[in-house]
A and B are shown apart, each in its own frame.
Chain A
Amino acid sequence: DQQVKQNSPSLSVQEGRISILNCDYTNSMFDYFLWYKKYPAEGPTFLISISSIKDKNEDGRFTVFLNKSAKHLSLHIVPSQPGDSAVYFCAASLEYGGSQGNLIFGKGTKLSVKP
């Protein structure tokens, strides 16, 4: 039962261009969403989050968009840099302020940014 889906296992982008990573979810009760980045041999690193009361959150080169009606969120990285090459995980939580630590992860998308 995949409550959080990342349908693209991999994405390749040229340096300087925009990277768009997509995530879909099935549970309308999710109210907090996060993106984590993972390098090989390291644990996931928090990147950016968004609560369900917003539709956009921006932090530097990273922007997360949330479309609740479509149960879809996306992470935009612009401009993409070779150091952004990693696996990106989308995660969702059932209750902001409640079980926030119980994150439901997607399978991840491996981003490769080519110089």
Chain B
Amino acid sequence: EPEVTQTPSHQVTQMGQEVILRCVPISNHLYFYWYRQILGQKVEFLVSFYNNEISEKSEIFDDQFSVERPDGSNFTLKIRSTKLEDSAMYFCATGQTQNEKLFFGSGTQLSVL
């Protein structure tokens, strides 16, 4: 079965540093999402992306966050200046249509020290 691939699986960074989390969507999927889960808390929506632009974002997704598809395949989440509270598991999810179930990647565990 096709799957969403995320790299790296773990990322440790110093506070204030920039990080880029990468996702390779399922090939015929058009809708892309980032979610995160802080340890012990619920999975939270960050942003949705379609047709090379953000279609929706949550209040968590502030100016420190950005997303792009630089080469038409990878879908990236950038955090410009990481904070301690950004430590979480970040999940990429993709869907073929807007009405369909989402396929999630295995996540990137981000630890900000």
Residues on A lying within 8 angstroms of B by beta carbon are: 4, 34, 36, 41-46, 49, 89, 91, 96-108
Contact = CB atoms under 8 A, between A and B. Distances in A.
Interface stretch (B11-19, B63-71, B74-82, B101-109): B101-109
A100 B50 CA distance: 13
Interface residues of B, number: 26
Main secondary structure of the interface of A (DSSP, over half): loop
A106 B104 contact: no
Given A44-B91, A89-B43, A101 B106 contact: no
B98 A100 contact: yes
Contact of B106 (A43, A91, A100): A43
Contacts of B95: 100-101
B103 A46 contact: yes
